[in-house]
């Protein structure tokens, strides 16, 4: 069997006396669409923050495509091919929609300061290439006609899409989506499902997503991991997870499972 693209082994994360994650292990195979669910405060976003280098886990090992992630900075992890979106949208609001998508390319650029200042042919070649890729992404995510508007002026649903476009501009192999459907209406949610399937096929993405919308999760994810109070309480296919009494208890309260 192929080794998993992402492997998290026995990660523990404590904040002072609070145990945010306890013995958390997860393997995501290349090409998989994996859902991370659980009640509020279960530690889902903590997993993302550890994976992208914003938190250093107290214990445990992380590896991505054979490279250890422990101790790497967020920009270094981004360059390895992990990109994320944020639960509370964090766009570069004053920059235009196009510029938002252009920024991640600088993270991988090898252009020197002098090439940029002297406007060498190499600079123009890269600038053209980068702009073409950015337009391609904006077109695919249906944002091209807003390209010159400030990102902060977009309606909410489009801001969520722009976050995905910006993450894709970092050329990830693994995309982490933090509540991509939050605040979207049913039509927008359905469109998002179709979009994610399309992006996944087209860019050969592996996706790990956090979501509270159960219909969305059950419909789109191939495997689920359920977290509660920093502990994994269930892992498996959506149909199995849905019937798991511990999951039902975590979501609906202690009496519901009886």
Partner 1 sequence: MDKSSWWHRLCTFLSLGLLFLLLLAAHYWAGDYYLRLLNTTAVFITMAVSYNLINGICGQLHLGPNAFVTLGAYTAALLTLTPAEKQASFLIAPLVWPLSDLALPFPLALLAGGLVAVLFAYLTGFPVLRVRGDYLAIVTLGFGEVIRVLANNLQTVTNGPMGLKGLTPYTNLWWSWGVAVLTVATVMGLKKSGFGRAMQAIRADETAARAMGIEPFRHLLLAFLVSAFFLGVAGGLLAHLITTISPTLFTFFLTFNLLIIIVLGGLGSTTGAILATIIITWGNEWLRVVEEPLDFGTFRLPGIPGLRTVIFSLLLLVLIIFYRRGLLGRWEFSWDWLFRKIQGRPDGG
- Answer for which of 39, 59, 90, 139 binds partner 1 (CB under 8 A) is 90
Options 25-33, 61-69, 106-114, 229-237: segment touching partner 1 (CB under 8 A): 106-114
Task: Choose which of 7, 78, 189, 225 interacts with partner 1 (CB under 8 A).
Answer: 78
Dihedral of CA 148/90/205/35: which sign?
negative
CB 15: neighbour CB atoms within 10 A? 10
In the set 117, 239, 254, 258, which binds partner 1 (CB under 8 A)? 117
DSSP characters over 26-54: EEE-TT-EEEEE-STTSSHHHHHHHHTTS
Q: Which of 27, 61, 149, 244 binds partner 1 (CB under 8 A)?
A: 149
Half-sphere exposure of 168 (CA within 13 A, CB side): 26
4 within 8 A of 20, measured Cβ to Cβ? no
Least distance from C-beta 86 to partner 1, angstroms?
7
Cα 218 from Cα 20, distance rounded (Å): 25
Q: Which of 116, 182, 195, 248 binds partner 1 (CB under 8 A)?
A: 116
Phi and psi dihedrals of 81, rounded to 5?
115, 30
Query: Which CB sits closer to partner 1, 145 or 243?
Result: 145
- Binding-residue total with partner 1 (CB under 8 A): 40
Distance CA 21, CA 18 (A): 9
Find, among 1, 35, 64, the residue nearest to 210 by Cα.
35
For the CB of residue 115, give the shortest distance to partner 1 in the complex, in Å.
9
Residue 176 and residue 208 in contact, taking contact as beta carbons nearer than 8 Å: yes
Residues in 128-147 at the binding interface with partner 1, rule: CB under 8 A: 130
**What x-and-dash track marks residues 25-64 binding partner 1 by CB under 8 A?**
---------------------------x-x----------
Contact residues for partner 1, defined by CB under 8 A: 52, 54, 73-75, 78-79, 83-84, 86, 90-95, 99, 102-109, 111, 113, 116-117, 119, 123, 126-127, 130, 148-149, 166-167, 169-170
């Amino acid at each position: 069997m192929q080794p998993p693209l992402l492997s998290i082994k026995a990660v523990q994360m404590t904040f002072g006396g609070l145990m945010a994650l306890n013995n958390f292990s997860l393997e995501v195979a290349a090409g998989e669409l994996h859902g991370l669910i659980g009640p509020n405060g279960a530690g889902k976003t903590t997993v993302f923050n550890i994976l992208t280098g914003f938190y250093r886990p107290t214990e445990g090992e992380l590896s991505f495509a054979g490279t250890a992630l422990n101790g790497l900075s967020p920009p270094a992890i981004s360059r390895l091919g992990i990109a994320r979106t944020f639960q509370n949208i964090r766009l570069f609001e004053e920059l235009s929609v196009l510029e938002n998508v252009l920024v991640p390319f600088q993270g991988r650029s090898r252009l020197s300061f002098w090439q940029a200042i002297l406007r060498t042919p190499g600079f123009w070649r890269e600038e053209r290439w980068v702009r073409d890729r950015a337009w391609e992404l904006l077109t695919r995510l249906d944002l091209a006609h807003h390209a010159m508007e400030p990102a902060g002026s977009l309606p909410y649903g489009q801001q969520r899409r722009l976050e995905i476009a910006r993450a894709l501009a970092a050329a990830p192999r693994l995309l982490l989506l933090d509540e991509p459907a939050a605040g979207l209406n049913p039509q927008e949610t359905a469109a998002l499902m179709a979009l994610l399937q399309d992006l996944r096929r087209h860019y050969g993405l592996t996706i790990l997503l956090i979501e509270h919308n159960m219909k969305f999760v059950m419909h789109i994810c191939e495997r689920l991991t359920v977290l509660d109070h920093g502990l994994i309480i269930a892992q498996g296919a959506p149909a199995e997870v849905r019937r798991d009494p511990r999951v039902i208890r975590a979501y609906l309260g202690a009496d519901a499972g009886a």
